[in-house]
A and B are shown apart, each in its own frame.
Chain A
Amino acid sequence: MTFDFSPVLTYLPTLIQGIGITLLIGVIVALFSVAGGLLVAVISIYTNKVISWPLRAFIWLFMTTPLLLQLYFLYFGLGELILIPAIVVGILGLGFHYMAYNADIFIATIRSVSDGQYEASRSLGFGHGATLFNIILPQALIRAVPQLGNNLILMVKDTSVLSAIGVAELVYASQYAISVSFRPFEFFIVIALIYYAINILMELGQAWLERQTAFRR
């Protein structure tokens, strides 16, 4: 078989738009899922069972069911109630899904900071909240970097699932181009390389961050 990459060039603007949407979703979901995960972890560790148990049940729901199913539920379920753009549904679905996984990491790393750190901070006169903010959470964040990085890379790949509900990210954009050009392999190769490049950059970023924080652990 012979390869013809000229349709890829023809539909390059469509692909670039797809990359833009993928990156936009990736950045928003990264911020949302990391900040949300940290919040969920703090609430589930430091509040009483009445608050933390329903929250954890909610989190488990997202961890134990397929992402695609969650997206369908949100898209068709919420769509029954209110008019909501697919991209917003996608961001929420992916956001909650990875928020659950990130919360799980933060719960482990917060617990791994020794009681001695808490006591040392309290003995200086810091309150409970100030101790969390200044001492416990920064250390928990540093310890979370490797796993958090892995999660975010998985998340970027999972943005492709959003094509199932019609979000015009990279895979969806290429599907359109394939349907009119009939050159699937060329597009598959190109978008695979694009994901490869994005995630290699993220890997490098993660490795850099790990080096920057290694001596602070």
Chain B
Amino acid sequence: MSTNRQTETPMVEITDVHKRFGNLEVLKGINLTVPLGKIISIIGPSGSGKSTLLRSVNHLEVIDSGTITLDGVAVNRPDIKGLAFERHINHIRQNMGMVFQHFNLFPHLSTLDNVTLAPRKLKKMDKKIARELGMELLDRVGLADKADVFPAWLSGGQKQRVAIARALAMQPKVMLFDEATSALDPELVEEVNQVMQSLAKDHMTMLIVTHEMGFARDVSSWAMFMDGGVVVEENTPDKLFTAPDQERTQNFLRKHLGSNL
């Protein structure tokens, strides 16, 4: 990493993280810093461990060793157990927004209620204020007119935009995107990318796992290529996507970008 990155405030710090599923070690000592207001993209083939890494940050996967911190606070705390840990992790997660590949909107709630549920229940926000916040966020993702509609009536792109609004409603310190556009029809990818781009303009700290190479190159301040549970190469997106050092990176990008490389 370049030296000026060391001086930036780290929002997420991942240090020597190991994770195995049975006999398969999927993360083999990963280090990564996501500085405040920056966007880090992780690319790599399926099974490279990139989604597992992102999910570990949200503690949806429990790492075996290493540390992950959010704004200086440890996410994984093997020293506390039971309800004390539950309280700890709930608090940590309230400061992270997670966006899933398959949206995972709550189908029994209206679009607006999807967005306002967490602030109402977890922050005890007044219903009227929550509604205003929800409408504001839906407007931001271009779906204010769908507030009272249920997720079943939305397209994939619209669902994902609502999911982003839902994650933003808790005013997170960092947004985690786990292949947010992978399940979308090609013509719906752009509308989600636009929302993510607008977040980037507002200096939202983001950690993005993606297959959208063009998008990653455009919005990221740092890009990382993972394969086989290790970071093969990381660099500024300009360098990583145009002149990667490693052969594995070159091969991967050649497949995904065609003859551009």
Contact A215 B152 (CB under 8 A): yes
**Interface pick from A31-39, A75-83, A121-129, A153-161:** A121-129
Contact B100 A116 (CB under 8 A): yes
Partner of A217, one of B86, B105, B152: B152
Is residue A6 within 8 Å, beta carbon to beta carbon, of the partner chain?
no
Contact A123 B108 (CB under 8 A): no
Chain B 104-139 residues near chain A, CB threshold 8 A: 104-109, 117-118, 121-122
- Map CB proximity to B onto A124-157 as digits: 1 under 8 Å, 0 otherwise: 1111101000110011001000000000000000
Contact A139 B107 (CB under 8 A): yes
Chain A 35-87 residues near chain B, CB threshold 8 A: none
Output the residue of A119, A125, A128, A215 with the most chain B CB within 10 A.
A125
CB distance from B125 to the nearest CB of A (A): 13
Is residue B249 within 8 Å, beta carbon to beta carbon, of the partner chain?
no
CB distance from B216 to the nearest CB of A (A): 22
Is residue B166 within 8 Å, beta carbon to beta carbon, of the partner chain?
yes
Interface of A, helix, strand, loop or mixed by DSSP: helix
Is residue B11 within 8 Å, beta carbon to beta carbon, of the partner chain?
no
Is residue A164 within 8 Å, beta carbon to beta carbon, of the partner chain?
no
CB distance from B81 to the nearest CB of A (A): 14
Contact B122 A126 (CB under 8 A): yes
**Known contacts A123-B60, A126-B90, A216-B152; is A117 also within 8 Å of B104 by CB?**
yes
**Interface pick from B91-99, B199-207, B219-227, B233-241:** B91-99
Partner of B118, one of A119, A126, A213: A126
Contact A216 B170 (CB under 8 A): no
Contact B93 A116 (CB under 8 A): no
On chain B, the residues within 8 Å of A134 by CB distance are 117, 121
Cα-based distance from A114 to B108 in the complex (angstroms) = 13
Is residue A120 within 8 Å, beta carbon to beta carbon, of the partner chain?
yes
Partner of A119, one of B91, B100, B152: B100
Cα-based distance from A121 to B121 in the complex (angstroms) = 12
CB distance from A51 to the nearest CB of B (A): 17
Closest to B95 in A: A125
Partner of A125, one of B94, B104, B105, B163: B94
- Map CB proximity to A onto B151-169 as digits: 1 under 8 Å, 0 otherwise: 0110000000001001100
Cα-based distance from A162 to B93 in the complex (angstroms) = 53
Interface size of B by Cβ–Cβ distance < 8 Å?
Answer: 29
Cα-based distance from A216 to B111 in the complex (angstroms) = 11
Contact A216 B98 (CB under 8 A): no
Partner of A120, one of B94, B96, B106, B122: B106
**Known contacts A127-B90, A215-B152, A217-B152; is A120 also within 8 Å of B107 by CB?**
no
On chain A, the residues within 8 Å of B109 by CB distance are 216
CB distance from A66 to the nearest CB of B (A): 37
Partner of B108, one of A116, A119, A120, A216: A216
**Known contacts A117-B104, A134-B117, A134-B121; is A127 also within 8 Å of B86 by CB?**
yes
Cα-based distance from A120 to B94 in the complex (angstroms) = 12
Cα-based distance from A121 to B102 in the complex (angstroms) = 14
- Map CB proximity to A onto B65-108 as digits: 1 under 8 Å, 0 otherwise: 00000000000000000000011001101101010101011111
Contact A124 B166 (CB under 8 A): yes
Partner of A123, one of B58, B102, B122: B58
Cα-based distance from A139 to B150 in the complex (angstroms) = 13
Q: Which residues of A contact B (CB under 8 A)?
A: 114, 116-117, 119-128, 130, 134-135, 138-139, 142, 213, 215-217
User: Which 9 residue pairs of A and B lie closest in terms of their CB atoms, listed nearest first?
Assistant: A125-B94, A120-B104, A123-B98, A116-B104, A124-B118, A125-B93, A216-B108, A125-B90, A215-B150
Q: Which residues of B contact A (CB under 8 A)?
A: 58, 60, 86-87, 90-91, 93-94, 96, 98, 100, 102, 104-109, 117-118, 121-122, 150, 152-153, 163, 166-167, 170
What 11 additional pairs, Cβ within 8 angstroms, besides A116-B104, A215-B152? A123-B58, A124-B122, A124-B170, A125-B94, A125-B118, A126-B122, A127-B86, A127-B87, A128-B86, A216-B150, A216-B152
